[in-house]
Amino acid sequence: MKYFSHLNTAVQLLQQYNGTQPFGSFIKQFFSQHKKYGSKDRKNIAHLCYAFFRLGKALPQLPAEERILTGLFLCSHEPNELLQYLQPEWNDKTRFSLQEKLSELNHPFNIHELFPWKNELSNGIDHEALCSSFLTQPDLFLRLRPGKETMVKNKLQQAGITFRETAPSCLALPNASKIDTIIEVDKEAVIQDHSSQRIGELMELIRTSSYARHTANKTPDIWDACAASGGKSILAFDIFKNINLTVSDVRKTILINLEKRFAAAGISHYHAFAGDLSISAFNIQQSLFDIVITDVPCSGSGTWSRTPEQLYYFDPQQINRYSMLQKKITDNAITMLKPGGFLLYCTCSVFKQENEEVVEHIQQQHSLQLHRWALMTGYNLKADTLFGAVFQKL
Ligand SMILES: C[S@@+](CC[C@H](N)C(=O)[O-])C[C@H]1O[C@@H](n2cnc3c(N)ncnc32)[C@H](O)[C@@H]1O
């Protein structure tokens, strides 16, 4: 029976995988070496593996096969073929509430065990809702670029792709939606999570501040200091319209992706360089900046519904390591601010050591005024959770 062979393959893959690379890349490599699997086989095997990871730190001793089936049941919100063949007695209970499903298990557990670091959470995070969210794959979110809103919606409708609007320029699509051939990604819309888009609210706060009004005739100098492939830079470009942009990242290779995205997004004038901001702010041979964005390296715990293998393999000692790195990065970034200039600090973490504690550190160590901080929770929206804070140099 093919479903049992899918289950066996999933177990073998989980034995070979050690968490050091994204599971998506690992399984892609496996399938490219094993061409016998058709698209439905690949989909089922991947689904079974992710069901295993979605249980996070719960039921660590359970044999892989049983853990996969438990995960599959808890993650299934309607009857499906896989469950029908692999564990038929659970298939007509998929619409039960989570609590009812948990009590049906051979090894019942408390949902809180899935993510056992409640005391480490930022204030305001609902632990139970966060734990439950790991059982659901988040949506794919698009940020519609200024002036392209109607065109993108029309194109999606014509292609029969369903979406819901979660904010004026934000669409949520089913995760597997194929949009590359329907819209021009980065030119017309950017793939960006709902909560990540909300960092734009903090950019708006800066844009409308008295400092910005004071310097209204001058193009702001902005440095995106942990730019990756430029998601926050494109957001800043759309909000501030006219900017002198500098971008940097410790990874030289990611800046190649940024270059391609910027070309598609219509950003042609910018300065890019690679460097480790935990060591120094570099000699970037430029005067100081009006705005520095530090979207720092972090645990990524606010995005683990997308990458549940990271939850499964997470070592909580990492939280402190990240927090120390974040403090070093912000200490160096702050030296590049003009008097009156703004620091925008962001993480995609749910841990207070990476959020509130770094905010406290900045307040204690630097002459910066905290204007606003915000926790953008996404667990009730099939989205990520982000944290952001805006400071102004006195
Ligand atoms: C959360 S990602 C940034 C995401 C990006 N701003 C976006 O919106 O798409 C953090 C980035 O920080 C970079 N990074 C990590 N350590 C760094 C360091 N010591 N100095 C500078 N950048 C660093 C990583 O390579 C990563 O690309």
**What CATH number does the domain containing 246 carry?**
3.40.50.150
Q: Which residues line ligand 1 (CB under 6 A)?
A: 226-229, 231-232, 249-251, 254, 276-278, 295, 297, 329
Q: Which residue, chain included where needed, has tokens 């470009």?
A: 237
Is residue 129 a part of any domain in this protein? no
Q: What spacing in Å lies between the alpha carbon of 256 and ligand 1's midpoint?
A: 14
Residue of the CA atom closest to atom 6 of ligand 1: 227
Q: What is the pLDDT of residues 236-288, one digit of tens each?
A: 999 999 999 999 999 999 999 999 999 999 999 999 999 999 998 665 656 89
Binned at pLDDT 50, 70 and 90, residue 380 comes out as very high
Is residue 39 a part of any domain in this protein? yes
Residue of the CA atom closest to atom 9 of ligand 1: 231
* Residues with Cβ within 8 Å of residue 84, at least 6 apart in sequence: 91
Q: What spacing in Å lies between the alpha carbon of 295 and ligand 1's midpoint?
A: 6
Helices (H) and strands (E) in the chain, counts: 17, 11
Is residue 119 a part of any domain in this protein? no
Q: What spacing in Å lies between the alpha carbon of 162 and ligand 1's midpoint?
A: 33
Q: What spacing in Å lies between the alpha carbon of 308 and ligand 1's midpoint?
A: 20
**Range of 60's domain?**
2-114
For residue 276, give the ligand 1 atom closest to its CA: 20
Q: What spacing in Å lies between the alpha carbon of 1 and ligand 1's midpoint?
A: 46
As to burial, measured by CB atoms within 10 angstroms (0-12 exposed, 13-18 middle, 19+ buried), residue 303 is buried
SS3 call for 172: strand
Is residue 133 a part of any domain in this protein? no
Q: Which residue, chain included where needed, has tokens 């910027």?
A: 262
Kindly state the percentage of the chain with pLDDT values over 90. 95
Q: What is the number of other CB atoms lying within 10 angstroms of the CB of residue 338?
A: 17
For residue 254, give the ligand 1 atom closest to its CA: 27
295 is in an annotated binding site: yes
Instruction: Give me the CATH number covering residue 156.
Output: 3.30.70
DSSP state of 252: T
End-to-end CA distance of the chain: 69
Q: What is the pLDDT of residues 316-335, one digit of tens each?
A: 999 999 999 999 999 999 99
Is residue 105 a part of any domain in this protein? yes
Give me the mean pLDDT over the 62-67 stretch.
98
Residue in 202, 250, 321 to alter for ligand 1 test, most ligand atoms within 8 A of Cβ: 250
Amino acid at residue number 356: E
For residue 298, give the ligand 1 atom closest to its CA: 1
Kindly state whether residues 238 and 186 are assigned to the same domain.
no
What is the model's pLDDT at position 284? 60
Kindly state whether residues 344 and 205 are assigned to the same domain.
yes
Kindly state whether residues 58 and 40 are assigned to the same domain.
yes
Q: How far apart are the C-alpha atoms of 6 and 29, rounded to whole Å? A: 17
For residue 347, give the ligand 1 atom closest to its CA: 1
Q: Where are the beta strands (DSSP E) in 75-193?
A: 140-144, 164-167, 170-173, 189-191
Kindly state whether residues 145 and 24 are assigned to the same domain.
no
Give me the mean pLDDT over the 149-159 stretch.
97
Domain count, the chain: 3
Residue of the CA atom closest to atom 17 of ligand 1: 250
Q: What spacing in Å lies between the alpha carbon of 249 and ligand 1's midpoint?
A: 6
Q: How far apart are the C-alpha atoms of 289 and 378, rounded to whole Å? A: 31
0.85 surpassed by complex ipTM: yes
Query: How would you classify the pairing of strands 289-295 and 221-224?
Result: parallel
Kindly state whether residues 159 and 240 are assigned to the same domain.
no
Kindly state whether residues 264 and 185 are assigned to the same domain.
no
What is the model's pLDDT at position 211? 81
Q: What is the pLDDT of residues 90-110, one digit of tens each?
A: 999 999 999 999 999 999 999
Kindly state whether residues 367 and 249 are assigned to the same domain.
yes
Answer for the pair 342, 291: CB distance below 8 angstroms, yes or no. yes
Give me the mean pLDDT over the 155-159 stretch.
97
Task: Specify the higher pLDDT residue, 7 or 215.
Answer: 7
Residue of the CA atom closest to atom 26 of ligand 1: 228
The helix or strand, by DSSP H or E, that contains position 146, with its residue range, turns out to be none
Q: Is 348 one of the annotated active-site residues of the chain? A: yes
Residue of the CA atom closest to atom 27 of ligand 1: 228
Is residue 317 a part of any domain in this protein? yes
What is the model's pLDDT at position 282? 64
Which residues are paired to 295 by β-bridges? 346
- DSSP H helical ranges for 164-316: 194-197, 199-207, 210-214, 231-240, 254-265, 308-313
Is residue 134 a part of any domain in this protein? no
Binned at pLDDT 50, 70 and 90, residue 217 comes out as confident
**Which residue from 323, 329, 325 is spatially nearest to 282, judged by alpha carbons?**
329
Kindly state whether residues 330 and 386 are assigned to the same domain.
yes
Residue in 195, 226, 237, 387 to alter for ligand 1 test, most ligand atoms within 8 A of Cβ: 226
Gyration radius (Cα) of the chain, Å: 22
Active-site hit among 49, 170, 226, 348? 348
Is residue 376 a part of any domain in this protein? yes
What is the model's pLDDT at position 162? 96
Kindly state whether residues 240 and 365 are assigned to the same domain.
yes
What is the model's pLDDT at position 287? 81
DSSP state of 167: E
Mean pLDDT of the chain: 96
For residue 228, give the ligand 1 atom closest to its CA: 27
Cα 248 to Cα 18, 192, 197, 226, 295: the distances in Å are 30, 20, 20, 6, 11
- Flag whether pLDDT at 163 surpasses 80: yes
Kindly state whether residues 32 and 89 are assigned to the same domain.
yes
